[in-house]
Chain A
Amino acid sequence: MLRFIIRRLLITIPTILIVITIAWGLVKLAPGNFYSGEKRLPPAIEKAIREKYGLDKPWYQQYGKMMWAIVRHGDFGTSLRYEGQSVNTIIRRSLPVSAAVGILAYLLALIVGVTAGSIAALKQNSRWDYSSMTLAMLGISVPNFVLGPILVLIFSLSLYWLPPSRWGGFPSRNLILPVITLSAIYMAYIARLTRAGMLEVLRSDYIRTARAKGLSERDVVIKHALRGGLMPVVSYTGPALAFLLTGTVVVERIFALPGLGNYFIQASLNRDEPLIIGIVAFIAITLLLMNLLVDIAYAYLDPRVRY
């Protein structure tokens, strides 16, 4: 197990460096720069700006300088578009926003999804089962960029109950619609996964044994069946995180939230090289670590798994 973890961590580092290099390469190859505005700048001023940001040095010097700073100090530099703000500061500032929405969404999805899925499994083929599974299918099929605006249309623009966009701090009314929008698809997936997992477990021998032994239905469900039902949910966490990331980008755009996803899109559009690379690297590290954690958790949950 320990060897597995160490091996995975060792692979992580070159992976991240490769990711950074790819992102840097793409940004460098692209046409355009970050200071093109409406008024054409006199050449002397343009030259001054280029020198100030080190853009006039040859490409290998820029690459070397960047990599050295990253590897040595974890310093991803300063944003090109935003004066005086280091990439690390920006990430630090925007991460809580994305994390808040993402974690809340996932928690909501877990609670509602597991509950609905379990009940559906226990009451298989009942009306509850069919309707909740159909709703779950809707949740998977309605894209978040359709669901979000419809929720905004009803609860904000027509009823004036909730704000249509923007971040209001934590906690605030502004969180409600984005969290619901983001969690819908996961709620659906988790409900279906839980139902499938529980159904499989409920059919198995050891549940029959537990029932035969006279355990109350409640104990059977909570102590045994649920555990089996949760396993696919846990193994889904890896891909779920990846979806959460892309879902967050869309939700942050729709609701104008100052999160990592929104910054990333802005940076891509602005050709803000250090910020793009910083965010990409951060996301890569997070994904890799989370995947590792999921694998470890899976090992604990399923004694058959050995690394």
Chain B
Amino acid sequence: MSTDPDLIHIPPETAITEGEFVRGTSLWRDAWRRLLKNKLAVFGLIVVVLITISAIIGPTVIKRTTGFTPDYIPTDDIRLIKSFPPFTGPDGKFSWTHPMGTDNAGRDQFARVLQGGQISLFVGIISTLVSLLIGVSYGAIAGYVGGRVDNLMMRVVDILYSLPYVIVVIVLLSMFRSQTARGQLVLLFVALGAVSWLTMARIVRGQVLSLKNQEFVMAAKATGVSTPRIIFRHLVPNTLGPVIVYATLTIPQVMLTEAFLSFLGFGVQAPLASWGSLASDGIQNIAIFPWQLIFPGVTMALTLFSLNFLGDGLRDALDPQMRTV
């Protein structure tokens, strides 16, 4: 087992010892208690929840109170079609209308940043789910079935792993610009999900390898449970620990990848805005309107910051011996 390159390469924190699983269901309650004790993680959790809530309901609330949607351009008053600094009104005096200022077309930045949050979080979560589904199934099957099938599947993973993925994704996205913004999102999910499932597969496979000779598996086999059931009802649930941990690692990574793809112009297209595309728009005018970059940038940094702290905390909580990276 120790000669299997997969097991060696997995960072130490994901190698779960046998003893963990004997503990059974109290694992989760213990984990939750540990999480709450970690102040940084709690901070992260609060911020993430706050941002997620504001991303979900924020645009609607803003629309109801001030009438600003992320793409509302005040065409009736030409004085308003310009970039105002934060908290500034048309006459240059202090005003509450635009706490984050406006962009060049007079669109409210606050609404746009929140919509950007919607998109970024949405893309991050869905892509991670996609990669989860693919990776977990693939890894579990490979680990359980073993033998030549396992070998073949892992060779494929090896080859795919060594592909310059993001490069190919860029070529793909640049060649096939979708006509609709929705279409582009779907392309993004596929591309981003395809990038991260490989490590997930390896992790799950590693887990399954160490689990499949356990007694509960043999018992299931003896009582005639079918192979798919064994894989998906018995083995997979026991891998959830590292899977969750890796998922929380993946979400910020995917969000970052989506942001940089949108920044380069290959990701989310207008009229939808993601933090990456807002940042790339903001950079255009940084010499004279720096707030256009600073607000989306700081918001994104804050979100990723909190997600990372939360992920750290989850890792600590699920296994204190898995020291953080």
Contact = CB atoms under 8 A, between A and B. Distances in A.
Task: Consider the complex of A and B and state whether they touch directly, i.e. have CB atoms less than 8 Å apart.
Answer: yes
Interface of A: 11-12, 14-15, 18-19, 22-23, 26-27, 29-30, 137-138, 140-146, 149-150, 152-153, 157, 189, 192-193, 196, 199-200, 232, 235, 242, 245-246, 249-250, 253-254, 264-265, 268-269, 271, 276, 279-280, 283-284, 287-288, 291, 295, 298, 304-307
B207 to A, nearest CB: 19
Interface in B212-271: 252, 256-257, 259-260, 263-264
B31 interface: no
A196 B260 contact: no
Interface in B156-188: 158-159, 162-168, 170-172, 174-176
A23 B301 contact: no
6 closest cross-chain pairs (CB), A and B: A30-B175, A146-B297, A141-B304, A141-B305, A268-B174, A142-B301
**Dominant SS among interface residues on chain B:** helix
A264 B301 contact: no
A253 B264 contact: yes
Contacts of A235: 9, 11
B22 interface: no
A255 B54 CA distance: 34
B221 to A, nearest CB: 31
Interface residues of B, number: 53
Nearest to A4: B5
Interface of B: 2-3, 5, 8-9, 11-12, 155, 158-159, 162-168, 170-172, 174-176, 252, 256-257, 259-260, 263-264, 276, 279-280, 282-283, 286-287, 290, 293-294, 297-298, 300-305, 308-309, 323-325
Given A26-B171, A150-B294, A196 B323 contact: yes
A157 B286 contact: yes
A150 B293 contact: yes
Contacts of A192: 324-325
A281 B303 CA distance: 36
A157 B285 CA distance: 12
Contact of A140 (B12, B283, B300, B308): B308
Contacts of A157: 286-287
16 contacts: A11-B159, A30-B174, A30-B175, A137-B309, A143-B279, A143-B300, A145-B280, A153-B290, A235-B9, A250-B264, A268-B170, A279-B167, A280-B167, A284-B162, A288-B162, A305-B8
B163 to A, nearest CB: 6
Nearest to B299: A146
Contacts of B2: 304, 306
Contacts of A12: 162
A14 B324 CA distance: 37
A115 B162 CA distance: 31
Contacts of B305: 137-138, 141
B167 A283 contact: yes
A200 B320 CA distance: 12
A59 to B, nearest CB: 15
Given A145-B260, A268-B174, A280 B283 contact: no
A22 B279 contact: no
Contacts of B9: 235
Nearest to A231: B12
A71 to B, nearest CB: 19
A253 B279 CA distance: 13
B171 A276 contact: yes
Contacts of A250: 260, 263-264
Contact of A264 (B170, B175, B263, B302): B170
A200 B323 contact: yes
Contacts of A283: 164, 167
Q: Which of A145, A269, A295 has the most CB of B within 10 A?
A: A145
Given A137-B309, A304-B2, A306-B3, A22 B168 contact: yes
Contacts of B172: 26
Contact of B283 (A14, A22, A149, A199): A149
Nearest to A294: B9
Contact of A254 (B12, B167, B283): B283
Nearest to A288: B162
A291 B162 contact: yes
A141 B286 contact: no
Contacts of A264: 167, 170
Nearest to B260: A250
A112 to B, nearest CB: 18
A271 B176 CA distance: 12
Given A143-B297, A149-B283, 13 more contacts: A18-B159, A19-B163, A23-B171, A30-B174, A152-B286, A153-B290, A232-B11, A245-B167, A250-B263, A268-B175, A283-B167, A291-B162, A306-B3
